[in-house]
């Protein structure tokens, strides 16, 4: 389900128009994220840490309304939810791209199993243009080899591009045993401000705590 927004009643309309003047209204934020409990949960249940991170990310992101707005020309829509489109290891050097449907209320264990099955069913590392355009995705990726401090991601020179792009790096463990990693969110300023990024990080903490329910 999705709902077309009436711009006359949209509180963000003036801010959208402000940033619509820019060819590149995109920006990103990198912050350290404590993933100690994600790693422990995944290890205890034999679930991929990466799949657990995707579940945590999608649960948090879909819970913040600003991340579900989408621009289509001059129109704005509020999506019911976004679906993850993520990279994974295709072979020793190449990555694959896999998209799965997000199902509200699904356990992270079942979600991880669906991801694994979808990856196994892929016949090509990259989707067709038609498949890539289908759905309303979040682009997710990981750099498990690098604990980076800053990263920029690719994007089209289309200032209506509404796809959030999220990436995280290799986690490190401190002297107290806490695991943290760099977590980067890239968004369109036409739709998302700093306060919404703060709400996402708050929601991530809640989603990590929610893992213990499963």
pLDDT at position 134 over 60: no
- Confidence category of residue 202, pLDDT binned at 50, 70, 90: very high
Q: Which whole-number Å values give the CA distances from 123 to 66, 67, 93, 120, in the listed order?
A: 34, 31, 17, 8
Q: Helix count (H) and strand count (E) of the chain?
A: 6, 10
pLDDT at position 85 over 70: yes
Q: What is the C-alpha to C-alpha distance for residues 34 and 50, in angstroms, rounded to an integer? A: 14
pLDDT at position 130 over 70: no
Q: What is the C-alpha to C-alpha distance for residues 75 and 138, in angstroms, rounded to an integer? A: 20
Q: Which domain holds residue 161?
A: 2-20+28-213
Give the total residue count for the chain. 214
Q: Cβ distance 1 to 80 under 8 Å? A: yes
Per residue in 154-183, pLDDT (tens digit) is 888 999 999 999 999 999 999 999 999 999
Rounded to 5°, the CA angle 120-124-128 comes to: 125
pLDDT at position 53 over 90: yes
Number of folded domains that form the chain: 1
- Enclosing H/E stretch for 31: strand 26-34
What's the mean pLDDT in 129-135? 61
Q: What is the C-alpha to C-alpha distance for residues 157 and 43, in angstroms, rounded to an integer? A: 41
The CA-to-CA distance between both ends of the chain, in Å, stands at 27
Question: Which CATH number goes with the domain that contains 64?
Answer: 3.30.559.10
pTM, two decimal places: 0.95
pLDDT value for 1:
78
């Amino acid at each position: 389900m999705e709902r077309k927004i009436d711009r006359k009643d949209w509180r963000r309309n003036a801010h959208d128009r402000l940033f619509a003047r820019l060819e590149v209204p995109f920006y990103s934020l990198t912050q350290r994220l404590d993933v100690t409990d994600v790693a422990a949960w995944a290890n205890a249940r034999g679930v991929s840490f990466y799949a657990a991170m995707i579940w945590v990310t999608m649960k948090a992101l879909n819970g913040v309304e600003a991340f579900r707005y989408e621009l289509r020309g001059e129109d704005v829509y509020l999506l019911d939810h976004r679906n993850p489109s993520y990279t994974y290891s295709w072979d020793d050097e190449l990555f694959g791209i896999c998209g799965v449907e997000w199902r509200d209320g699904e356990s992270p264990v079942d979600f991880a199993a669906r991801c694994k099955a979808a990856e196994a069913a892929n016949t090509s590392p990259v989707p067709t243009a038609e498949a890539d355009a289908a759905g309303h995705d979040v682009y997710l990726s990981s750099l498990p080899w690098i604990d980076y401090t800053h990263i920029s991601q690719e994007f089209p020179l289309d200032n209506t591009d509404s796809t959030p792009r999220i990436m995280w790096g290799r986690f490190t463990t401190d002297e107290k045993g806490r695991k943290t990693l760099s977590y980067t969110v890239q968004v369109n300023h036409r739709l998302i401000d700093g306060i919404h990024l703060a709400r996402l990080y708050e929601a991530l903490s809640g989603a990590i705590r929610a893992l213990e329910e499963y």
